[in-house]
Chain A
Amino acid sequence: MRHISVEPPPFFHRGPSPLTRLAFFGLLSLALLFADTRYRYLENIRHVVAILIYPLQRAVQLPGEALTYVGTYFSSQRTLADDNAALKQQLLAEAPAVQGYPLLEQENARLRTLLAAEKRFRAAAIAAEVLYSGRDPFTQKLFVDKGETAGVVPGEAVIDEVGVVGQVTRVFPSLSEVTLVTDKDHAVPVRVERSGVRSVMYGAGTGRLPELRFLSPNAEIQAGDKLVTSGIDGTYPAGLAVAQVVSVERETGQMFARVTCRPLAGVEKSSIVLILGQAAAFAPRPEEPGDADAPRKGRGRRRPG
């Protein structure tokens, strides 16, 4: 299939050969890959490009949003009445707990002053809508519709009505990226609600259940136990439900028990989430001699990507 367009004679200059171009851009990509995985120099570039493509991202959302809007507009009165009744029931069921709460809080505050313990931090939370789940098949991420302009800060915990969903890892002007607790090696410091055993839950990646690592075989834990955040990392406030233990394998000859758990929150399903304000600033970590400029590791935070 030929074209009518006039081809210049081959001795005319056509710029560098394709192979030269490939070598140039290939090396540039490798440099970018290296710089982005090892350091965070490129966040500015990312921000600028993100602003450029934001209108496109919103434009693509519009048809779906319009459909949902039309759908809710025509939802039958029956459904709404049923929903209303169910919600009233739920409100009633939760009333005792809520009414008792101020009393408990006062008591707790008094006991804490007696103990001279630090105040428990309660910050304002931001409700956000899930725009879309991440398209990268290698990571577990969500994008929500609140960003820098709404006051979201990287590192904040994200929960839904049942428990912890994940953590804000990157903030753009009007959307932010949430890394889910099921993302590979995403760590959440947890405590077994029943026995108080502390551990860290590590995500295992797409399609696999998170696990607790380095628990000794005789640890007080059994299938069905509920895991809540322990709050010792300063990222997740204490006491949020995280997961339920699915299986505990204690093999003789193994150093550690194999504990898998299932996240309680609708980690991949919930459509509205709550971004919790940053916990009270912890005292700065004492500098370790000879290790002053080493990157901070662990503490439930990890480099996204």
Chain B
Amino acid sequence: MTLLGQFALWTALLLGVTVGALGLSGAWRGRPDLTAVVTRAPAAILLACAVAALALWRGIIGHDFNIEYVAAYTSRNLPTGFLVSALWAGQKGSLLFWAVVLSLFGALAQWLTSRRYADLLPYVAGVTSIAVAFFVCVMLFAANPFDRLAFTPADGRGLNPQLQNIGMIVHPPMLYLGYISITVPFAFAIAALLSGRLDTGWIHAIRKWTLVSWLFLSIGITLGMWWAYVELGWGGYWAWDPVENASLLPWLTMTAFLHSVMIQEKRGMLKRWNLMLIVGTFLLSIFGTFITRSGVIASVHSFTQSNVGWFFLGFLIVSAVLSYTLLYTRWPKLEADTRLESVLSREAAFLFNNLLLVGIAFSVLWGTLFPILSEAVKGTKITVGPPFFNRVNVPLGLLLLGLTGVGPLIAWRHASSANLKRQFVAPTAVGLLVLAACLATGMRDLYAVVALTFGGFTAGTIVQEFWRGVRARMRMHDEAAPLALARLMGRNRRRYGGYVVHVGILIYCVAFAGMAFHRTEEATLKPGEAIEVRSPFGHTYTLTHVGLSQYDELNRTVTAATMAVAVDGRPAGMLTSEKRQHFVQPGDVSTRRPTFEPSTEVGIRSSLREDLYLVFAGAVDDTETAVYRVNVNPLVWWVWAGGVVLVLGGLITMWPGGGALVTAPRRVPVAARVEPAPQLVGAEGAP
């Protein structure tokens, strides 16, 4: 099997390099035969990578512990689901997984792209194939998942318990899908630059691709937060760790791109900026991979240090230099078609939004790299942590939240005072009402008050947009409200899907603000003793230590600590947290030996208002006395809810059909429509 895997990898490498050279050099121009080869090759590369992955999976499932990777990450007693996910649990396997997904996207880009962009596709094939070749190259020369050991161990070392979680089966693939699919928009951008076809064509070609990667990245980040929250046991979901920041950076620049690209579609501006953003997003995704895998920046959760990182740094530098040089040579061709007419316009609002998003991305990058920068410049390493990121990003994020409310309201080109009055009165009133309510209830935390006020304003905007659209449809088509709403969204998917995404972001913001009010208590308790924790919502939890129990389960020994929970004196069930010691056991019980440090399984009692989060930190000297930490985390449920709304919105936006926001009226003759285009009956602010 390893031989087959090795062979498949070499095939992928050779194909990738050849197609890359042919595709990027433009040698296929005027040669239909070569063009066909280049555009079909990504399917062959996909096949080669898939064969390699299947070969490794075969080794994992068949417990072939002679393969170093299989011995290092699995064991005989590992449940099947985790055997499957072991493919991406370690450095080497995850590189292979990456190559497979990347080649899949490379092939999909060829299959799913409209023939209208046929002259871009060979270039796209060139870029995606080179990228696959790079990953295969890293495997073959630095981290080969098919390496064999000189001997065959009786059993493997097992999978790290923290990776034995459902979140870990789904989180990395989602994040990878997001990270990896960024390559497709990047490939189209490079294709547009190489071909010199710099009209808005390539923008249309990648619109959905960008949304796809944005969506996967959003899901991946949210699942990552969830995994950290339920598995790492420190009580929160976001710690501004370099690895987390690495996933946030491309998300921020991609979000900026998704907004600014509308200006290019609508007004022919920002061509250079958009190209810089998409190239930058790709580079940030590679940068993220570099810091996750090289260990250059101290992170609590990073892969083992290895020289793999330097491959990524090399790739990063080469890609950056080549892409930006290419962009520079095409600079004069990227002149904007129009100019900004007024600062009171949607263009300007979007530009400010872009500046803020890029500003946030820059500050996150700066904070992440600061230890290295300060050491290089001043000779002493200075680190910044969560206080820095919160200090910088909370005000910027709040401004952005405000702009989220402004953007959809303000007219393109030049907002008249009539437009401003008509659009802003209601949302502003909502914002002010929220402000008054905050002050009346005695809330004095500046950021929380501003967050809720801006949140109210933005929510007002979204509701007003929906309300006006629905009302117009109800009047014109005599439809009932639910039908009008469904049709309104169905026919303006980008616009209303976008608003749903904004609702998701709004929910996130409120949930994040809530976390600022969390409470923590620690206690050492004998059975029968209790600890009290006050909730920021005013009630009091009383947790009474009931006792400990110990038992074996599957591949671990569990020590479970149980507490009886009471809310304001009323009993509210039990909550259990576990310490788990995993083991491998190649033969009978006498061959059992522990693997890894003990791990904690937290107990969570979740409600709409707050989570009660219980950590059993250990027993005192093998008695029944237990050490606990209890957190009350407000509004955590809403983070996951916000994620779901965001994903729904994203799906609505990219659902096939339904017509594009801007181009539909141009492409489809209005006369051919049975009904007038809904855009025409929407609010004045509609394009």
Report if A and B associate in a common complex: no
